Each structure stands twice: as structure tokens, then as C-alpha cells.
Amino acid sequence: MSDQASSWVRSEPGVPTIRNVNWGGLRTLYVKEVRRFFKVQLQTVWAPAITTLLFLVIFTVALGRSGRSVLGVPFADFIAPGLIVMGMLQNAFANASFSLLVGKIQGNIVDYLMPPLSTGELIAALVGASVTRAVLVGCAVWLAMLLWPGVHVMPRHLAAVAWFGVMGAAMLGFFGLITSIWAEKFDHAAAVTNFVVAPLSLLSGTFYSIHNLAPAFQAVSHANPFFYVISGFRYGFLGVADSPVAFGAGLLLAINLTLGAICYALLRRGWKLKS
């Protein structure tokens, strides 16, 4: 018997044998969540990409053909980055809000709670899978727009694209995880999607510059965290933004830390998960 095996056998009851990060368990849960949405990739990746591309087609045909420009760039180029990250945000939320909720409804939530994973490892795997889906959707939309005539979506600042894309997806991943903990049926998660996520994403400056709004509506836009994601992501492609990029980057980091702490506290207590 090897030294490692004999050490495991001699462990006293209640003494953890995994004292640091359970990388094997973390990787297994992450791969499971990625495979779950990738098995139906036509619905979870390509369908959102086509839907987002249709927004571009409709708005460019309706408003872009007249030579309209926003922030000094053609209208099609202006809305393209916002559409990419909007699709990423919505799909990150959809993925995270489904994970624990389906386990609660089907009665197999124990599959998430019983494995030797810490609360932080559970959060990292679920949110990491949501970010992965968001990135895949974003890449699919970007590739489609890259081939669309009259649209230029070559990044100028890759660091800004990566930061705001990942931070935005993580923010919706944390929010989706909180929703899946709170919700008791699919209608609850759908209500959050329809009445919170969709309005905030559509009213975040994706299709317009907030400089064209009245001061009161500009203030409302600045209170919308989605606005900073889209503005910073757009800066990564166009080099122009509606808001200070550094402020938006710091604000998103603070929001993610706060949402992560809330997720940790709720999962640690087992709120609405443990009877």
C-alpha cells in the first residue's frame, strides 16, 4: 500500500483528507455543466447567436442605411459590440439560473450538495460554466457579424473586450445563481428574466448613446450596471465609450465581489436548498 493510501486509511473520523482546493471535483462539476448546455448547443449557443444577428439586420436596415452615425462611428458599427455582449449577458444568466433550480424541482439537488466540494468551489464551477457559455455565444455572434457586409467588429483594445465581457458574464452568472437559489419553479426564473434582465439589457445603451437622452434618463442609465458592461465592451471595439472606462471596470469588479459574497452566504446557509 502506498504512503498516500495508508495516510488516507489512518485519517481520523471528521478530519478532511482534502485540505486545499478540490481541483478534481471542481473540474468535474464544471465539465458536467458545460456538457449539459453543449449537448443542446443548437438551442443554447447558435440560436441566441442567430437571434442577436437578427437585431443587427433589423436595425441596420431600418436606421443604418441613411448614413446615420453615433459617437462618430457608423450606426451598424456602434450597435454591433453592444449586441454581442447583450447576448452574452442574457445567456450567462440563463445558464446559471437553471443549474440549481432544475435540481430543486426534480428532487436531485443532493447531487450538488453532497459531493466533497466547498461552497466556493461550487460557485466557481457553476459561474465558470455560465461564463463559458457566454463566451461561446459571444464568439458565435462575433463571427457572424464579421462576415456581415458593412459591419466592422475588429477589436482595438483586447484587454477591455476581455475584461468587460468576462466581468459582465460573471455578474449575470452570480445573479442567475442567486435566482436559482431563490426560485421555486421555472415561472419565478422566467419572471426575473422578463422583468429584470431583459429590460436592463435593452435599456442599457445598446441601441443608442445616452448623450442623446434627457438628464433624468441619463441618471437612470448610469444606475444600470448593464450600461457599464456595454459601454466598456464597446470601447474595446471602437475606442469610444459613453462612460469612464476605468470607473466602469472598477464598479463591475465591486459588484461581482458583492454578488459573489451573497451567493456564498446563501449557499453556506443552504437557504431554500436544505430542508
**pLDDT tens string 152-162:** 899 999 999 99
pLDDT digits (tens, 9 = 90+) for 187-228: 999 999 999 999 999 889 888 888 888 888 889 899 999 999
Answer whether residue 185 shows pLDDT above 70: yes
Q: Given this model, what pLDDT does residue 248 score?
A: 96
The cell numbers describing 228, all together, are 457599464
73 bridge partner residues: 70
Average pLDDT over residues 15-30: 82
Q: Given this model, what pLDDT does residue 237 score?
A: 96
- DSSP codes joined into one string, 45-102: IIHHHHHHHHHHHHHHHHHGGGT-EETTEEHHHHHHHHHHHHHHHHHHHHHHHHHHHH
pTM over 0.85: yes
Average pLDDT over residues 122-150: 93
Half-sphere exposure of 77 (CA within 13 A, CB side): 21
Q: Which residues contact 155 (CB under 8 A, 6 or more apart)?
A: 161, 236, 237
Look at the chain and count its residues: 275
Q: Given this model, what pLDDT does residue 6 score?
A: 43
Q: Given this model, what pLDDT does residue 9 score?
A: 46
